[in-house]
């Protein structure tokens, strides 16, 4: 799902297509993480997290912009599921230890910097905390996702308008002004 046409086809496929893609991506990511933990292959970790992030972003866009309420609801559920999976990865001590144990001496500066940032972000997320604290972080992340989605739904469903004098459009691009005539 790395190209735009595949993403467009997925969104056009509706709820079932989105759920199937999310399930398949989650299964693939789990396999890649298993490979990463077994071999320490950085590409497997990167592809696992990247593929989950791509599906999450598509679900978020679908939740915000799809005309069908059922598809939007499915997209919200998919986003919540993927967010949980990404949180689990960020709080997984085995993933952290594997990343921290990699010999990056043969890698370029950008890769070393990236891995350092990932490790830092995992520590900030609480990977180095006890089980109880990590469980609380998971619950807070779930709450943040739900609150963010509720906020975004409120914005998307708003029907408020602003009445401004034509002079308020002064300085804006001509095509924008033409598309927003007075009255």
pLDDT tens, 28-81?
999 999 999 999 999 999 999 999 999 999 999 898 888 899 999 999 999 999
When pLDDT is averaged across residues 18-37 and rounded to a whole number, the result is: 94
Q: Does residue 148 contact residue 59 with C-beta atoms inside 8 Å?
A: no
- Domain total of the chain: 1
Better-predicted residue by pLDDT, 2 or 78: 78
pLDDT computed for residue 94 by the predictor = 97
The pTM of this model reads 0.81
Full domain range(s) for residue 172: 4-179
Half-sphere exposure of 2 (CA within 13 A, CB side): 3
Q: Which of 32-36, 68-72, 157-161, 167-171 has the lowest mean pLDDT?
A: 157-161
Better-predicted residue by pLDDT, 142 or 4: 142
DSSP code per residue over 8-69:
HHHHHTHHHHHHHHHHHHHHHHHHHHHHHHHH--HHHHHHHHHHHHHHHHHHHHHHHH-S-H
Nearest to 145 by CA among 69, 75, 96, 50: 75
Distance CA 169, CA 166 (A): 6
pLDDT computed for residue 2 by the predictor = 54
When pLDDT is averaged across residues 19-30 and rounded to a whole number, the result is: 94
Average pLDDT, the chain: 91
Q: Cα-flanking dihedrals φ and ψ of residue 107, to 5°?
A: -90, 160
First to last CA, the chain: 43
When pLDDT is averaged across residues 118-131 and rounded to a whole number, the result is: 97
Distance CA 53, CA 2 (A): 11
């Amino acid at each position: 799902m790395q190209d735009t046409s595949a993403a467009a086809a997925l969104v056009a496929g509706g709820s079932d297509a989105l759920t199937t893609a999310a399930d398949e991506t989650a299964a693939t990511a789990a396999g890649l993480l298993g490979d990463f933990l077994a071999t320490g292959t950085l590409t497997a970790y990167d592809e696992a997290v990247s593929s989950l992030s791509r599906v999450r972003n598509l679900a978020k866009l679908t939740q915000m912009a799809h005309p069908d309420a059922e598809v939007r609801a499915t997209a919200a559920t998919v986003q919540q599921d993927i967010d949980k999976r990404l949180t689990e990865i960020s709080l997984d001590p085995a993933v952290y230890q594997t990343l921290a144990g990699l010999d990056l001496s043969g890698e370029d500066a950008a890769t070393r910097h990236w891995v350092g940032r990932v490790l830092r972000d995992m520590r900030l997320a609480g990977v180095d905390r006890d089980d109880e604290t990590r469980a609380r972080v998971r619950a807070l992340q779930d709450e943040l996702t739900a609150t963010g989605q509720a906020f975004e739904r409120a914005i998307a469903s708003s029907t408020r308008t602003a009445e401004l004098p034509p002079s308020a459009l002064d300085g804006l691009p001509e095509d924008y002004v033409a598309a927003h005539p007075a009255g």
